Amino acid sequence: MINVFEDLVSNRHKNAAEWKNKGRKVFGYFCTYVPEEIIYAAGIIPVRIMGGSEDITHADVHLPSYICSFSRSCYDLALKRCYDYLDGVVFPYTCDTIVSLYNIWKADIPTPYVGFVDPLCAKTETARKYFREEVARFKGSLENYLGKEISEDSLRESIRTYNENRRLLKKVYELRKGPQPLLSGVEVLDIVRSSMLTPKDEHNSLLGSLLDRISEREDPPEPGVRILVSGSVIYDPEVLRMIEDSGALIVADDLCTGTRYFWDLVNTNSSPLVGIADRYYERIPCPCNYPPEKRLEHIMTLVKDYDVEAVIFTLQKFCDPHLFDMPFMEEKLKEAEIPSLRLETEHVTAPLGPLKTRIEAFLETIR
Amino acid sequence: MASKHYMEAHEAKKQGRPVTWITGYDPVEILYAMDIAVVYPENYSALCAVTQTAPKFIEAAERMGYSSDLCSYARNTIGTTFEEGAPLGGLAPPDFLVVARKFCKTHVKWWQVLSRRFNCPLFIIDAPYVPEDEKEYHVEHYVSQLEDLIAFLEERTGRKMDYDKLREVVKLSDRASMLWDEIMALRKNSPCPIGAADVLSCMFAIVTLPGTQTAVDFYERLLSEVKERVKNKIGVIPEENYRLLWDNIVLWYNVGLSNYFHKYGAVFVLEPYTMVWSGRLDPSNPLESLARKYMAPFINLKNRADVLVELCKQYRVDGAVMHSNRSCKFLSLLQYELKDILMEKLGIPSLIIEADHCDGRAYSDAQIKMRIDAFMEMLG
Amino acid sequence: MYTAGIDIGALTAKSVILEGGEILAYTIIPSGSNSKETAQRVMEATLSEAGLSQDDVTFTVATGYGRVNVPFADKQVTEISCHAKGAYTLFPTVRTVIDIGGQDSKAIKVGKNGRVVEFAMNDRCAAGTGRFLEVMAKALEVRLEDLGELSLKSRKKARISSICTVFAESEVISRISEGTPKVDIIAGIHEAIANRIFGMASRVRIEKDLVLTGGVAKNKGVIKALEEKVGFKILVPKEPQIVGALGAAVIARENAEGGKNRGR
């Protein structure tokens, strides 16, 4: 019941090809600021673009070395034709690297539809209004591409399905509270990532089955030092595996491939487009668009609710938004007497040895 | 002129006048119209690099936990707010902060750090990203934010915006831009009358003082000087063999690098980065024209490429040197595409050199000079 | 007419004397810490082998990092131009040159007459250079010159990270202690260096014919790994280390013959 999620992640390109064969359209998206519900309402399957574990060999022709390996890997895969099946790709202005990648992808990769959404940094009523219009424009641009309207009903239905997925994922996370969590961090990573790579209605039934049967699980993870992991996109589980192989158990997270993705629901009291826009506008903070105070609050709430003993930051080398927040985060955690460790990772977590040493040494200081 | 400007901010602080810090490409005219003292930490960091004082502050910031992969302007500034001995007495502490998200998100994150450091409010303007062509709604949003900014400033300073004064400031700013454009246009001449190093030392006013009489006076003098040079066919070097373009910010700790090219008879006649600072304004429509000015440059790859190709034609450029700047992803990441475009459309070869604009530790003199030598041999 | 080319690298110094268009003599020696003295020594060795004196040489071009320290040179030209010219002299069909030296690596797109059209170099880091192999050979306790042969014996190459020499070294040491067969580790090292080089060289858009130069070109394992990446056979000169000095000597001849502009 758990392996199915890992399979969805490893077979994502194969699965996408199958949906295409059945006549479905598939759009790729970068980052959790893209209003997926609208894509889904249009009958298109949204899939998150993620890096892979293959060596990066082609990206250097178009990109310098001092950017995160996540973006280099994604682009490398695109150049190697792994993403040829995409009918469209949507980029938000997440960070300076992604916005540049938007331009480069548009120039070099022949994806038929290349969309753009600007999540904005200012948090004022003027900004909120603009963002609502931006979301409406995004819907219009999809309608143009499809040659048909996206109805209000299909938006409502999409919102329902997405909200259901979010509720179910929250329930899955609840299984990690208490002295014997029923899922490990690596397993949960696969569960959340698979949600980004599967049509939501299918994912909802898989989650339903999981929640029904999980209590029967005979091989729950070994409890250990209770860790919260904070970072951006984890596209290779190696670091998390290393943490959990060293006597720790990840029980909560502040990750783009974690709670940031699903923690907030769309408010169904407003009209669908406004509800969607507001949800993405007010969602859990990510360093790219917010100052760190709200993010710290989110982490502290999770620390309390999940009995977290220590925080491990798994940052991508060269990730400016996350790195700017670090001194503040480390200082505040220190004040709250919560031990924290900062790890900077590169592609496929080379080098492994020194990373493992840091993790082990850190855990030794906790208990 | 630069030192005077920084000292004036200290004076303002002493007199109790409001002081703010802003980034390049923020709508400074609004602040000048309200008599707010303004300083530019980026410009100040360039000054630290030129005077070779930056390393101390960069290291201080790194000791505090700011990664060495972050923008070196940011690391330097943050360092100067904690360490002793910053040039010109450091920057006068701000009463509030204003930043536009135009060139990069780094500006916003950096200003967030500063607002925590000085415990003062931060006003963020989003210059909406223009993925294809600029539309009316982009401009309208910027104008709405300017209105919000004015309200914010009125509240902070306890004064009201004097719109007549604003129109005056906008008029002066427009004149400074006009002069700057004229001066830059004279570089189309052969021999080129004013080269990279001189342009750098004359940039200060157009970047930080648009809207002041000082800027206008300075550029009027500069323009007549440059016109004289053109009339007398005085160039940067006696024999001009190659006309080059420099892309991205310069190496502030090594501003003489452009002179290294002189031994090949090569001069820099065009730098997109120095040219973006001017922007024509319409005093009868101050907010809208400010919005257009501050949204204009480098909006996306196509726009940047089209502008660059056009400029290369007008300035008769033979080769491009592109600084792949570790601190500036926004300007650097698209350079590989631009290199291809310049070759395809104009047959112009480009040299991409990796360094940093403010942190000299990322610069390797021998390696860079070797690449320059090889490139010039190639052009030959 | 006799012309000379001299290439002062960080690790080795090479010189070539041409008689008209033919190589008359050449020398390769380790560089000393004093470039000037090294230049003197290597030139003297080649002159002596050719049976000539310095005065017999019409024009000398110096290249390499130490090129500014060759007082008897008539001109200095970068290794980029010299390697392009040298490779072109040996293989007129060349379009791409990859030079892997002891301390740096470069890729050059070659045009008409051996002119440089475009070039790229490794940035600031030893991972795609001879140094990488040297460090690994030491960690594995094998001779540098045996690495190539040994790598060809592997059936299952181990995966070694290619990002940094120092980190790769510690990976190699872990693998040794885990019991991974040496030949597999060596094959993995060759894969790693080939990845790095291929990534750097792709910036000039690799085209046939590709000529490999520099000391590392003597390593059969690197050649094979690179051929797998580019998808075609790579040309390797009999004496890959002297290509820069050869190119310098050819440029010297061009200069002597007609005062033409450099590089044409």
The percent of residues above 70 in pLDDT, for chain C, comes to 96
Cis ω for the linkage preceding A64 (within 30 of 0): no
Pairing of strands C105-110, C96-100: antiparallel
Which of C 65-104 lie inside 8 A of B, CB atoms?
A: 65, 77-81
Strand, helix or coil for residue C211: strand
Q: Which residues in chain C have Cβ-Cβ distances shorter than 8 Å to B380?
A: 261-264
Is residue C264 over pLDDT 70? no
**Contact flag C205-A61 (C-beta cutoff 8 Å):** yes
Answer whether residue C123 shows pLDDT above 80.
no
B211-225 confidence digits (pLDDT tens)? 999 999 999 999 999
Length of chain C: 264
Spatial CB neighbours of C92, under 8 Å, sequence gap ≥ 6 = none
E strand or H helix at A115, and its extent? strand A113-117
C115 lies within 8 A of chain A by CB: no
Q: What is the mean pLDDT of residues C33-62?
A: 94
What mean pLDDT is predicted for residues C197-206?
90
To the nearest whole angstrom, how far is the Cα of A219 from the nearest Cα of chain B?
A: 41
Could you tell me which chain A residue has the CA closest to the CA of C198? A57
How close is the nearest chain C Cα to the Cα of B288, in Å? 43
For residue C261, the model assigns a pLDDT of 41
Find the residue in C nearest to B378 (Cα).
Answer: C116
Are B317 and B244 within 8 A, CB to CB?
yes
- What local confidence, expressed as pLDDT, does residue C259 receive? 58
Test A292 with B300 for CB contact under 8 angstroms: no
**Cβ <8 Å between C202 and A350:** no
Query: Residue C262 above 60 pLDDT?
Result: no
* Model confidence pLDDT, tens digit, residues B118-158: 999 999 999 999 999 999 999 999 999 999 999 999 999 99
Q: Which residues of chain B have pLDDT under 50?
A: none
CA distance A68 to A80: 19
- Sign of torsion, CA A16 A200 A89 A136? positive
Closest Cα in chain C, distance from residue B335 (Å): 12
Binary contact (C171, A58; C-beta < 8 A): no
Q: Tokens for B142? A: 């910027």
Neighbours of A310 (CB within 10 A): 20
Average pLDDT over residues C106-130: 87
Mean pLDDT of chain C: 91
B3: tokens are: 């030192």
Domain architecture of chain B: domains with CATH: 2-161 (3.40.50.11890), 166-379 (3.40.50.11900)
Which chain C residue shows the shortest CA-CA distance from B324?
A: C123
Tens digit of each residue's pLDDT (9 = 90 or more) over A138-151: 999 999 999 999 99
Q: What is the DSSP string of C73-119?
A: -SEE--HHHHHHHHHHHH-TT--EEEEE-SS-EEEEEE-GGG-EEEE
Contact with chain A for residue B333, Cβ under 8 A: yes
Helix axes B213-231, B163-185, angle to 10 degrees: 20
Shortest CA gap B218–chain A (Å)? 35
The answer, yes or no, to whether residue A72 has pLDDT greater than 60, is yes
A356: left (phi over 0), alpha (psi -120 to 50) or beta: alpha
Higher-pLDDT residue of B94 and A350 is: B94
Supply the pLDDT for residue C162.
61
ipTM of the complex: 0.95
| pLDDT surpassing 50 at residue C63 | yes
- Which one-letter amino acid corresponds to residue B118? F
**Chain A contact for C198 (CB, 8 A cutoff):** yes
- C210 - beta bridge partners? C96
Give the gap in angstroms from C-alpha B248 to the nearest C-alpha of chain A. 14
pLDDT digits (tens, 9 = 90+) for C149-190: 999 999 999 988 766 788 788 888 888 999 999 999 999 999
Q: Which subunits sit against B, judged by 3+ Cβ pairs under 8 A?
A: A, C
- Tell me how far CA of residue B11 lies from CA of A192, B18, B36, B210, in angstroms: 56, 11, 12, 20
Question: At CB < 8 Å, which residues of chain B contact C?
Answer: 336, 349, 354, 364, 366-367, 370-371, 373-375, 377-378, 380
pLDDT at A357: 84
A65 and chain C: CB distance < 8 Å anywhere? yes
Q: Residue A350: its pLDDT value, please?
A: 60
Q: For chain A, give the mean pLDDT.
A: 94
Scanning the structure block, which residue is given the tokens 């992808």? A105
Q: Which residues have CB under 8 Å from C5's CB, separation 6+? A: C15, C16, C18, C60, C61, C62, C63, C82, C244, C245, C246, C247, C248, C249, C250, C251, C252
Q: Does A54 touch chain C (CB under 8 A)?
A: no
Checking if the pLDDT of A353 tops 80, the result is: no
8 A C-beta contact, residue C21 and residue C234: no
Nearest residue of chain C to residue A60 (CA atoms): C199
Side-chain half-sphere exposure of C19, counting CA atoms within 13 A: 9
Is C171's Cβ below 8 Å from some Cβ in A? Answer: yes
Q: How far is it, in rounded angstroms, from Cα C264 to Cα C255?
A: 10
- Mean pLDDT along residues A251-271: 96
The two three-digit tokens of residue B152, written as one number: 């914010």
Share of chain A above pLDDT 70, in %: 99
For an interface test with A, the pick among C96, C122, C157, C163 (most A C-beta atoms closer than 10 Å) comes out as C163
What are the chain B neighbours of C261 within 8 Å (beta carbons)? 380
Of residues A57, A346, A353, nearest to C163 (C-beta)? A346
pTM exceeds 0.95, yes or no: no
Contact C124 B354 (CB under 8 A): yes
C-alpha angle A48/A50/A56, rounded to 5°? 155
Q: Tell whether A348 lies on the interface with C, counting CB pairs under 8 A.
A: yes
Q: Percent of chain A scored above 90 by pLDDT? A: 89
DSSP state of A338: -
Output phi, psi for C19, to 5 deg.
Answer: -110, 105
Q: Residue A284: its pLDDT value, please?
A: 87
**Cα(B191)–Cα(B202) distance, rounded to whole angstroms?**
19
Instruction: Give me the residue from A107, A317, A320 closest to B109, CB to CB.
Output: A320
CA distances from C240 to A154, C41, C87, C152 (A): 67, 21, 9, 20
Chain A residue whose CA is closest to C194: A57
Sheet with A225-231: list strands edge to edge: A248-254, A225-231, A310-316, A340-345
Tens of pLDDT, residues A185-234:
999 999 999 999 999 999 999 999 999 999 999 999 999 999 999 999 99
Contact C263 B378 (CB under 8 A): yes
- pLDDT in the model for residue C45: 96
Q: Are B111 and B104 in contact (CB under 8 A)?
A: no
The one-letter amino acid at B50: V
- The answer to whether the CB atoms of B337 and A326 lie below 8 A apart is no
B-to-C residue pairs, Cβ atoms closer than 8 angstroms: 39
Using the beta-carbon criterion (under 8 Å), do A57 and C195 form an inter-chain contact? Answer: yes
